[in-house]
Structure 1
Amino acid sequence: MRKNGDWEAYLVKYRLVAIDLDDTLLNSNFEIGPCARRALALAQERGVMVTLATGRMYRSAQPIARELKLTAPLITYQGALVKDAAGREYTHYPVPLTLAREVIRYLQVRGHHINVYINDNLYLQHLNDVGTRYASVSRVPAHVVDDLVEVLALGPPTKVLAIAAPEEVDRLEQELAPAYAGKLHVTKSKPYFLEFSHPLATKGRALALVARQLGVPREAVLAIGDSYNDLDMLAFAGLGAAVGNACPEARAAAGYVAAAGEDAGVAEIIERFVLGETG
């Protein structure tokens, strides 16, 4: 991955662009602004393939992909599920059942809000304000069950998510990431989200898969993100770029940091490195 420098000196043709959703392509109102829409449309007109790389559920990302007329495989659930907008599945790495039970019980005992995702459905034990807000933002229905461990009878979950105050998420990450090293991928996606997924379920690995499927070399991949869970994706890409509101870790990992934040930052990056508009 190239770091900051005289970018005009490089004549790289990016053929695949992978973009995070929340706080990157989607602004604080969970909308995509006109500048980002224009940049994405022009990039696709020039033959550049665009995909989404998100921690969101597939069923939450798919409508956005269809709206933007994206045809490349979508990276969802932090990379655990790669599936295109037409429904073709490329890979799925669910959390092993034994580990899912352990994590859920651990979080239940400590009273944390938990989301469990099975077969692209969202399961909650309590439809509190946190759960209601999450389902509303994701635009998916929430299924309330008596016990999230018992719902694992439906199959292994694609992901388990804990939602808590940022300081508690930091504490949980410090305790559980080493405990499950090599067994689970434990990462923050937001300061208040701690995600548990299969160790192979990362955005970087999924982006490598998508690039291979599309015949795009690593050097021709542009990745755009803002948060902790974007770090290996930014590292994999020929150019990893961060929007202006990115966390310090993502800014440090990026080869380019946009002046603008969120969707305006996405537009700035695509205009500069894909469309060649530097004015």
Structure 2
Amino acid sequence: MKAKLFVTDMDGTLLNSEHKISRGNKHAIKRAVEAGVVFTIATGRMYASTLPYAQELELDVPIITYNGALIKTASGKELYASYLEEDLVKDLLDFAREQELYIHLYSEDKLYFKENDEHAQYYQKMCGVPGNAVGEDIYKYTYHVPKMLIMGSTPEEADAAVELVRRKFGGRIDAMKSSPTYVELIKPGVNKATAIAKLAEILEIPSEQVLAIGDSSNDVSMLTSVAISVAMGNANDEARAAARYMVTDNEHDGVAEALERFCM
């Protein structure tokens, strides 16, 4: 059976190393949408960072952001939102300070960090959204926080941060890597899989016609939950193990290959 709902991760999947959508992927997406496929995005990025890509593709469908904590249409209609408790946000800020880790948060779809250091500068350049350096006033922005992000200087530092968070907070927070140095902090039970299930229900698309494609650890939940799961050629070991199928990497139009194989 061909996929009717095609859900793609962004970084390392839909986007190449220059954080752009290739001409080949754009062409395949346009053909698929014209053929009736519902094409959308599920990403760890904030909504403000994802929206320009949805607009570039001329999509007006619900997009999944913050690793599943927010589902919102490209035209701005919010369909679902889940936020961290304010006390937990403060505890995570304290933890990062104690461990001397870079951390930032998102409140009301705005980016906040203590200092505009090299981590903050890199992230702003990557996501295309300017952030706010607020020092200790970051504790004033603990409301409507869908997720937080720790950035390590090395993959090993990020791995260690995941283990530290899991030991310290247990079931209060889920910690997972979305890139070699990014550690996503999100509410337990909120992930791309649950968001895709909600979206498929909203769109009235049978579960057997849902496809997800990704490359990283924060994609594992959706890859293990959908009928058609695809890993990119550049995927890490966790994503590869979770997926049923494999396509080429994000430098060679893996998304276009998946559209051709499973939708067209």
Give TM-score scaled by structure 2 length: 0.95
Q: Which amino acid aligns with 2:241?
A: A
Which deviates more from structure 2 when the two are superposed, residues 205-214 or residues 67-76? 67-76
1:249 to 228, 238, 247: 238
How does 1:95-174 map onto structure 2 within 5 Å? 95-147=84-136, 149-152=138-141, 155-164=143-152, 165-174=154-163
Rounded to whole Å, the distance in 2 between the matches of 1:234 and 1:58 is 22
1:149 Cα deviation from its structure 2 partner: 4.5
Rounded to whole Å, the distance in 1 between the matches of 2:251 and 2:11 is 8
1:72 Cα deviation from its structure 2 partner: 2.0
Match of 1:33 in 2: 22
Which deviates more from structure 2 when the two are superposed, residues 12-21 or residues 181-190? 181-190
Match of 1:8 in 2: none
The secondary structure found in structure 1 opposite 2:58 is coil
* Identity across the alignment (%): 37
Compared with structure 1, are the counterparts of its residues 148 and 224 closer, same or farther at alpha carbon in structure 2 (3 Å cutoff)? farther
Rounded to whole Å, the distance in 2 between the matches of 1:34 and 1:232 is 29
The secondary structure found in structure 2 opposite 1:86 is coil
The question of whether the paired residues in 1 share the 8 Å contact of 2:14 and 2:250 is answered with no
The secondary structure found in structure 2 opposite 1:236 is coil
Rounded to whole Å, the distance in 2 between the matches of 1:37 and 1:235 is 26
2:194 to 194, 202, 205: 205
Rounded to whole Å, the distance in 1 between the matches of 2:261 and 2:165 is 40
Match of 2:8 in 1: 19
1:261 Cα deviation from its structure 2 partner: 3.5
1:132 Cα deviation from its structure 2 partner: 1.0
* Residue deviations 1:142-162 (CA, integer Å, cap 9, x gap): 111021542235x24121110
Structure 2, unaligned runs of 5 or more: none
Match of 1:46 in 2: 35
2:51 to 58, 62, 72: 62
2:173 matched to 1:184?
Answer: yes
Match of 1:271 in 2: 260
1:214 Cα deviation from its structure 2 partner: 0.3
2:221 matched to 1:226?
Answer: no
Structure 1, unaligned runs of 5 or more: 1-11
Rounded to whole Å, the distance in 1 between the matches of 2:255 and 2:137 is 37
Rounded to whole Å, the distance in 2 between the matches of 1:263 and 1:218 is 28
